[in-house]
Amino acid sequence: MTSNHRKSAVVLALALLGVLFVALVLVGNQLLRGARIDLTEDHLYTLSPGTRAILAGIDEPVRLTLFFSEHATRDLPQLRSYQQRVREMLEEMAQRARGKLQLEVVDPLPFSEDEDRAAGAGLSAAPIGSGGAKVFFGLVGTNSTDGQAVIPFFQPDKEAFLEYDIAKLVHDLTMPRKPVVAVLSRLPLAGGVDPRSRAAQPPWAVLQELRQLFDVRVLDAQHTQAIGADVQVLLLVQPRQLPDDALYAVDQFVMRGGRLAVFVDPDAETDVAPDAADGGIASLAPRSSDLPRLFKAWGVSYDPDAVVLDRARALSIAMSADAAPVRHPAVLGYTAEDLNRDDVITANLQSINVSSAGCFALAPDSTAQLVPLLQSTADAMRVPAARVRLQPDPGALLVGYRPDNVHYVIAGWLEGRFRSAFPERKGAGHLDAARAPGQILLVADTDLLSDRLWVQMTPFFGQTLLNAFANNGDFAVNAVDYLAGSSELISIRGRASARRPFTRVEALRRSADERFRAKQAELERELADTERRLAGLQQEKAGDNAQILSPAQKQELEAFLKRKLAIRRELRDVQRQLDAEIEALGARLKFLDIALMPILLTLVALAYAWRRARRRRAAGGEPW
């Protein structure tokens, strides 16, 4: 074969390969639409077992209509890319549902009937399109009984919640009746008037989340004498000074096999007395809660006057608007490694924040079992709740810190066959013991339910969006879901958080912070000691010479000033060392991510090319 023929053959082969490649891409785009291989660590792009169970349980057809303004978003590539992601998720769900889930995609053009349909269904129109045009990007679901559920607007920054939002919409349309959940609380979960600001407060975000899935009934703590037979789950929050009749109602609810979740707290920061705004004695009133009679009957040990400090999980918070953030050992951010990965409630959660939390243990004579869901690290210690409440400086809580080397149980399952705490009552229907073994959820913190520890409320076109930065709400709703007997949504909701904290960097910061505080404590001790010595020397002088420094005093003062400067230099060295360690870690990570893998791939490619050329030469072939 001549050289010209060989070149022509190469050009023809390359042209044919190009045509074949384009054809395969076009055909694959149609035949393999929605198909993908999920190589992410948590399989974020694979339908979870809960979603598949919900789709398999659809009895009657559900119709989904995706409204997306195709023309108005031609200059919004990010939104168009996310629309493709949403559409692929919906198509995959429709395929899994085997005809029970029908999908329609509609482009609501301006002044069209489709636009009227979208607006009438409750979708939000955002003025972010070309020339300020309104953009619809939402989902409307309907069932055979004219039930309707909507997702007003898909936000790209909430992509991690996509599967859960869609699955919850389908789940709501297929549920004939929502489970009944009763809430008995001393805290204003349902909203009210803030006694400090006198301003109206909306319901807590966690209660809003519960109301989307359940029929929530808020009970009056002072007048509750029985829990209705149709109540499936009772949520008992901050049960401070409950009347005996209310306690007996809770007791018999458990004896009948009712599902109970208890949230107590040694220092409930949201439990504010009505007259606390006046700065009177009420502002110093105890804010702890306990169930001593019930806990004793159930074999639970709980101290309402002890708070768990954990410097390994201390969060940095600002004590005032103009103050720098400081680590607070009573305000804790627990991570996935502190959660029970074998329990369905916490298996997929990533972070839970608590504040001035207590802990549980089993009583010495208990026959029950305590299964931890959330535990402290071994670097934790218990202190009196009054010390935490009355100490304005969080750093002072770290002075003299001595860990107990115990993993304290902050939340857990109490399992066993429970006995009544009111054996003396023998009225009609009274039960001395539970009919069957049961589970009670115990949580030693009520502040984790408050908005400030897990969610940010953001106004969005006339609505309030919940932007969660921790899984506190997921934990509470997962628990109620499980207790109500509905577990399909649990695995989906936990996937919503994909936060990956830099644990190595945080460990470096904690180490440097501890060294920093040790130096500060040393300086303070030397300062106090020097002042005492100066005061002693001053007392030895009398009369007009009392204000004149003696040589000994001058020497003492100069020595202290030199030591003070030396310690400040050491503090700066500690900070510089911290920065250097973090920069070195960042440089190593950048090298691994940016340079190492391309270098390895290049070396592999070169080795393959060299080996192939060597084989050709050995076979007497002639390369092109």
Rg (CA), the chain: 32
Please tell me the distance from the alpha carbon of residue 409 to that of residue 444, in angstroms, as a whole number.
8
pLDDT at 499: 47
> DSSP readout, 282-348?
GGGS------HHHHHHHTEEE-TTEEEEEGGGEEEE-SSTTSPPEEEEEEEEEEGGGB-TTSTTTTT
CB-based contacts of 438, cutoff 8 Å, min separation 6 = 254, 257, 259, 415, 416, 417, 418
In the numeric block, which tokens belong to residue 100?
């029970």
Please tell me the distance from the alpha carbon of residue 13 to that of residue 251, in angstroms, as a whole number.
82
In the numeric block, which tokens belong to residue 194?
């803030």
Q: How many Cβ atoms sit within 10 Å of the Cβ of residue 376?
A: 27
**pTM of the predicted model over 0.75:** no
CB-based contacts of 421, cutoff 8 Å, min separation 6 = 247, 251, 293, 294, 296, 297, 298
pLDDT at 621: 55
> DSSP readout, 561-624?
HHHHHHHHHHHHHHHHHHHHHHHHHHHHHHIIIIIIHHHHHHHHHHHHHHHHHHHHHHHT----
CATH class of 49-173: alpha beta
CATH topology of domain 177-273+285-501: Rossmann fold (3.40.50)
SS3 of residue 400 by DSSP: coil
Please tell me the distance from the alpha carbon of residue 479 to that of residue 487, in angstroms, as a whole number.
9
Taking every pair of C-alpha atoms in the chain, what is the biggest distance, in angstroms? 119
Which secondary-structure segment (H or E) carries 236? Answer: strand 233-237
Please tell me the distance from the alpha carbon of residue 168 to that of residue 175, in angstroms, as a whole number.
10
φ/ψ (deg, to 5) at 138:
-145, 175
In sequence order, what are the beta bridge partners of 139?
A: 66, 151
Instruction: Provide the strand spans (E) within 43-127.
Output: 62-68, 101-106, 125-126
Closest C-alpha among 358, 361, 381 to residue 371 = 361
Please tell me the distance from the alpha carbon of residue 216 to that of residue 183, in angstroms, as a whole number.
7
Please tell me the distance from the alpha carbon of residue 73 to that of residue 396, in angstroms, as a whole number.
55
Please tell me the distance from the alpha carbon of residue 472 to that of residue 455, in angstroms, as a whole number.
8
Distance of CA 590 to CAs 293, 433, 501, 601, 604, Å? 58, 62, 17, 17, 21
Mean pLDDT by 10 residues, the chain (624 residues): 66 77 74 60 72 88 94 87 91 89 93 91 84 88 89 84 85 84 93 70 91 91 89 95 94 95 96 56 71 96 97 89 85 95 86 97 95 97 94 88 96 96 90 92 97 83 76 94 73 52 62 64 66 60 56 72 68 66 68 73 80 76 50
SS3 content of the chain, % helix, strand, coil (to 5): 45, 20, 35
Please tell me the distance from the alpha carbon of residue 140 to that of residue 65, in angstroms, as a whole number.
5
φ/ψ (deg, to 5) at 57:
-90, 5
φ/ψ (deg, to 5) at 388:
-70, -40
pLDDT at 530: 65
| CA atoms lying within 13 Å on the CB side of residue 450 | 17
Q: How many Cβ atoms sit within 10 Å of the Cβ of residue 154?
A: 21
pLDDT at 540: 57
Which secondary-structure segment (H or E) carries 351? Answer: strand 351-355
